[in-house]
Amino acid sequence: MANKHKSKQLLAPPPSSHRPTPYRGPSRDEILALRQEYLNPGIFHYYDDPLCIVEGHMQYVWDEQGRQYLDAAGGIATISVGHCHPHVTHAVQEQVGRLAHTTTIYLHPTIVQYARKIAERMPVGSDLRQTYFGNSGSEANEYAILMARLYTGNDTILALENGYTGGTGCTMRLTAIQDWKFPADGNLEVKYGRPGYCYRCPRGLKYPGCDLECARDLENIIQAEAAGRVAGLIAEPIQGVGGVIVPPKEYFQAAYDIVRAAGGLCIADEVQTGWGRTGERFWGFENFDVVPDIVTMAKGIANGTPLSAVTTRPEIAATLTRRLHFNTFGGNPVSVAAGLATLEVIEREGLQQRARQMGAYLRSKLLELQDKHALIGEVRGLGLLQAVELVSDRRTKEPAAAETKQVVERAKELGLLLGKSGSLRNVIRLAPPMCISRDDIDFLSACLDRCLTEVRPVA
């Protein structure tokens, strides 16, 4: 597509005051060749013409040639407050210069200060106040599943179709997207319920007249296949990799009631929805008026530094005392310093409110594009976690996977980095750093408009 569109004037992201350091490392082609020779081939690259990113500042990144891009994917919702935010960078530099590593067998001030901050952010009266730190969302979900199994004495976990929980053995088994799964051994039994994916309801029902059959289907699954064996339900409040699926507001109320009646615990995977990204609420689950028994978090928790956490009630947390359990890097002082600094930035700069305001503006621009482009079947999301689902035909909802790929590839040429998601590979996911501006969103909208028009001209 690059040659086809080379003659057209390029759009450009709003200029940044940041001046990237001249890059003097190996060329992009040299890096690609080394990658192909020395990295595991399972580590894929995103674009047909791979992008080499060498520097970032706030909502922008630069390639090895010094070209600027607007990062509208945020490293898959990982960069919450901005690439290399000065406050987070300073906290990391200060900590690594004083003490780079100590394990939790010793006392350290930052880890407890941060854990207290997380507890203070949980719903009042929930008693969600004890945290176990890890390094990734996969690891956090592993711990949550372990605690649920130990606490209930059961080994059946309920997960949702179209969901994604991680890349370890246990979490891949819970992930109900075929291309993301490997077989997993062990005693863990998994049953899959239906998410609240209203746009593609398999029964063709319409909310609210559907009586939330998708959520109530969990009861049928439990009675038929898992009676007396349910350890818990793990679910993202909004499915991220699955295509930013926002269920009806009452979905989790019904699902949680069913799971708890069966003796299970409810686990909210906040890896992509937490930390104010949805705008109205700090946690994704709060948008659905529920309180989980266990909350897992990662990605934006430390603005890109490897850190994850599992927060739960004391009686559930106590299950890990039954045997010797240890994590060398969980709660590492550098990572925790980054986490604490990230939360301080969110609070000081009002980024949750900004996510609400900029999210509303972004959604309005996406809806304008939907009115213009028949390729857009649905716009959905909350705050600064938004998506557009592309379809070849709005009536049949035939997924436009090839067109989605073309839009994402072309946007990169114009200086815009987008996310690609959905089990049908036809969803453009937007999860930019929460410092994004109106000018950025105007550029994003204009860029999407051009890409969609080039893929399918407006009649």
Write down which residue in 313, 348, 383 finishes a domain.
Answer: 348
Same domain, 330 and 401: no
Same domain, 344 and 370: no
In one-letter notation, the amino acid at residue 181 is K
Tell me, yes or no, whether 257 and 375 share the same domain: no
For 127, the domain range is 87-348
Phi, psi of 51 (to 5 degrees): -95, 135
Closest by CA position to 161, among listed 178, 144, 147? 178
Going by C-alpha positions, the residue among 411, 359, 349 that lies closest to residue 381 is 359
Residue 15 covered by a domain: no
Q: What is the pLDDT of residue 359?
A: 98
What is the predicted pLDDT for the residue at 301? 96
Instruction: Specify the DSSP class assigned to residue 131.
Output: E
Per DSSP, 178 falls in state G
User: How many CB atoms neighbour CB 152 within 10 A?
Assistant: 19
Burial of 276 (0-12, 13-18, 19+ CB in 10 A): buried
Q: CB under 8 Å to 4, separation ≥6 — which residues?
A: none
- Which pTM does this prediction carry? 0.94
The first and second tokens of residue 269, run together, are 């995977």
Asked, for residue 9, whether it belongs to a domain, the answer is: no
Q: What is the pLDDT of residue 459?
A: 77
Beta bridge partners of 267: 234, 294
pLDDT of residue 3: 42
Residue with tokens 């930052």: 110
Predicted pLDDT at 113: 97
The pLDDT averaged over each successive group of 10 residues in the chain (459 residues) is 48 93 95 95 90 97 97 91 97 97 93 97 97 96 96 96 88 74 68 95 93 95 95 97 96 98 98 96 98 97 96 97 88 96 98 98 98 98 98 97 97 96 95 97 98 93
Total count of domains within the chain: 2
Which of 324, 348, 372 finishes a domain? 348
Domain boundary residue, one of 289, 317, 348: 348
Answer for the pair 38, 82: CB distance below 8 angstroms, yes or no: no
